[in-house]
Amino acid sequence: MTPVSAEEASCAAAQESGLEGERGATATNPLAGRVTAFTAACLLVSNMVGTGIFGTTGFMAADLGSPGVILALWLLGGVFALFGAFSYGELAAAFPRSGGEYIYIREAYGPLWGFLSGWTSLTIGFSAAIASSAHLFGDHVRELVPAFGAIGGSEASEGTPVIGLSMVWILTLIHVAGVGAGGFTQRFLTVLKIAALVALVLLGVSFGTGDWQNLAASDVDVSFGLGTVLVAFMFVTFSFTGWNAATYIAGEVRTPQRSVPRSMVWGVLAVTVLYVALNAVYLYALPMSALASEPMDLVGHKTAWALFGPGAGRWFTLIVAVSIVGAASAMIWAGPRVYHAMAVDGLFPRAIGRTASRSGVPRNAIVLQGVWITVLVVSGTFETLVLYATFVLIFFSALAVSSVFVLRLRRPDLPRPYRVWAYPWIPAAYLLVSVAILWAALQIRPTESLWGVATVAAGIPVYLWMARSDEGRRD
């Protein structure tokens, strides 16, 4: 008799229990090959281009006051994300299964660390970010259509949660309907918002009112140290968050060993060019003092106003609203693939691992995420969780990148259709920068960072309970 590997046994057990296993080419996955490389790239780009690019530069202007440093940090942010994409590309090609870093960390460090990564995705990484997007979307819709402000109560602000949650559940139902409807929606939203932002750049430079001298000199005198630069870079990296989105649906992508690495690399390059170009337009439109004043105001909104006059602000609000919807759609699609993978592995309630009979999508996982988002929006706790998110997200992405080293040592014979370029220097550089950012966050924002750690640690008893329950079911 031929020995059965643990991997094959786990997959067989998942299939026998009615779950849809996704162990690469050997498993039955109704969604395999349903997503094109272009759609995967749209998912990645739309996930990256959310709201960070429209506001982060204002805080950087106030803290740094240097056009050259600001542009350099945005460019370095793209390089940092690109190094991560190269590293994740090797992991995605070796494990072409949906779930992202949960899969890679589990394979390298065991189920506990994999579970904590997935726990973070549910509690902070996706859900809190989507809840924040819902709130911002409500604000922008009320600005565009003031009459909507009265929805849900007598005060204008009370309409925001209702509008935001309406967006969340409409997108949730679209993705429950299947990858056909979800993929079309994602492609449409991504193309629309990228076209609008490219138009802003081209029209701003061609017809807008600005001064290129703003890029050469600053009218703000600010002294800053390495810690300030690292914190600013942390916010830049947060604006690039989502560069790994294609790995969450790797099991659904056609020829994932080739398509997922390519979609990540080309997607990051495209967004980096867009981000640097947008920041150049911001600096062209406004002097540093104007960018730095009232940094809570969206820099993009002030830029459109300066370039084209007061009427342009309304159009820019519409662009931001579309961008928010596109980013929320990408996260609503990607996040549940993590929880579904955890359930298939017995680390989450088994019901979350079941899929819709017709569409094959992880319907229960998508609905679970929608319910948790609703709780966060209604309770208002998402604002606190978003503050904690950056630290733990960087930590787990670094842990996933370190899996490249661990798996090369422990499993040298693992098939690797794609290998990270310039190994070991690129993943090592990513880890080095990640450690520097984490150190800066602990020094300058210790409370938020430690609360992020506490949120992750809260998943340990949940893991122990789920692991014990899974052992009882197998017995």
Q: Does residue 99 fall inside a structural domain?
A: yes
Lookup: tokens for 76: 């370095």
* Dist. CA 245–CA 260, nearest whole Å: 9
Q: Does residue 23 fall inside a structural domain?
A: no
* Dist. CA 31–CA 98, nearest whole Å: 10
Question: CB under 8 Å to 407, separation ≥6 — which residues?
Answer: 91, 94, 104, 107, 108, 414
Give the Å distances, CA to CA, from 402 to 83, 241, 460. Answer: 12, 18, 21
pLDDT at res. 157: 53
With cut-offs at 50, 70 and 90, classify the pLDDT of residue 420. Answer: very high
Residue pointed to by tokens 């098939």: 415
* Dist. CA 86–CA 264, nearest whole Å: 8
Q: What is the pLDDT of residues 278-326, one digit of tens each?
A: 999 999 998 888 888 765 567 888 888 888 887 787 888 888 889 999 9
pLDDT at res. 159: 60
Report the percent of the chain where pLDDT is more than 70: 88
State mean pLDDT over 132-148: 83
Q: Of the ranges 129-133, 251-255, 309-313, which one carries the lowest mean pLDDT score? A: 309-313
- My answer on whether omega of the bond before 424 falls inside 30° of 0, hence cis, is yes
Residue 236 above 70 pLDDT? yes
pLDDT at res. 40: 92
pLDDT at res. 332: 95
Residue type, 449: S
pLDDT at res. 166: 93
pLDDT at res. 259: 92
With cut-offs at 50, 70 and 90, classify the pLDDT of residue 437. Answer: confident
Q: Does residue 1 fall inside a structural domain?
A: no
With cut-offs at 50, 70 and 90, classify the pLDDT of residue 470. Answer: low
Residue 150 above 60 pLDDT? no
State mean pLDDT over 164-175: 94
Number of structural domains, the chain?
1
State mean pLDDT over 10-35: 48
* Dist. CA 421–CA 120, nearest whole Å: 29
Q: Of the ranges 26-40, 70-84, 423-437, 453-467, which one carries the lowest mean pLDDT score? A: 26-40
Q: Does residue 12 fall inside a structural domain?
A: no
pLDDT at res. 220: 72
Taking the model in full, what pTM does it have?
0.85
Residue 156 above 50 pLDDT? no
Q: What is the pLDDT of residues 398-415, one digit of tens each?
A: 999 999 999 999 999 999
Residue 26 above 80 pLDDT? no
Give the Å distances, CA to CA, from 307 to 58, 211, 316. Answer: 17, 10, 11
* Dist. CA 232–CA 274, nearest whole Å: 19
pLDDT at res. 32: 73
Q: What is the DSSP string of 38-94?
A: HHHHHHHHHHHSSSHHHHHHHHHHHHH--HHHHHHHHHHHHHHHHHHHHHHHHHHHH
State mean pLDDT over 58-72: 88
State mean pLDDT over 43-65: 87
Beta bridge partners of 253: 35
Spatial CA neighbour of 240 closest among 452, 49, 435 = 49
Give the Å distances, CA to CA, from 92 to 183, 238, 246. Answer: 20, 22, 9
The answer to whether 329 and 186 have CB atoms below 8 angstroms apart is yes
Q: Does residue 7 fall inside a structural domain?
A: no
Backbone angles phi, psi at 357, to 5 degrees: -65, -35
pLDDT at res. 53: 86
CA trace torsion 42, 48, 54, 58 (10° rounding): -160
Q: Does residue 83 fall inside a structural domain?
A: yes
pLDDT at res. 193: 92
pLDDT at res. 337: 94
Q: Evaluate the CA torsion angle 305, 308, 310, 314 in order and state its sign.
A: negative
Q: What is the CATH number of the domain that holds 119?
A: 1.20.1740.10
Alpha helical stretches, state H, 208-287: 226-239, 245-248, 256-285
pLDDT at res. 374: 93
Q: What is the pLDDT of residues 342-358, one digit of tens each?
A: 999 888 988 998 888 77
pLDDT at res. 208: 84
* Dist. CA 12–CA 260, nearest whole Å: 26
Residue 12 above 50 pLDDT? no
pLDDT at res. 448: 82
Q: Please state, rounded to an integer, the average pLDDT across all residues of the chain.
A: 85
With cut-offs at 50, 70 and 90, classify the pLDDT of residue 5. Answer: very low
Residue 241 above 80 pLDDT? yes
Q: Does residue 261 fall inside a structural domain?
A: yes
Domain range enclosing 440: 32-474
Report the percent of the chain where pLDDT is more than 90: 48
Residue type, 255: T
Buried b (16+ CB within 10 A) or exposed e, 301-318: bbbbbbbbeeebbeebbe
State mean pLDDT over 424-442: 92
Residue 183 above 80 pLDDT? yes
DSSP secondary-structure letter at 211? -
pLDDT at res. 365: 94
Q: Does residue 24 fall inside a structural domain?
A: no
Q: What is the pLDDT of residues 354-387, one digit of tens each?
A: 888 777 889 999 999 999 999 988 887 776 777 7
The answer to whether 331 and 12 have CB atoms below 8 angstroms apart is no
Q: What is the DSSP string of 329-376?
A: HHHHHHHHHHHHHHHHTTSS-GGGG---TTT-S-HHHHHHHHHHHHHH
Residue 391 above 90 pLDDT? no
pLDDT at res. 218: 75
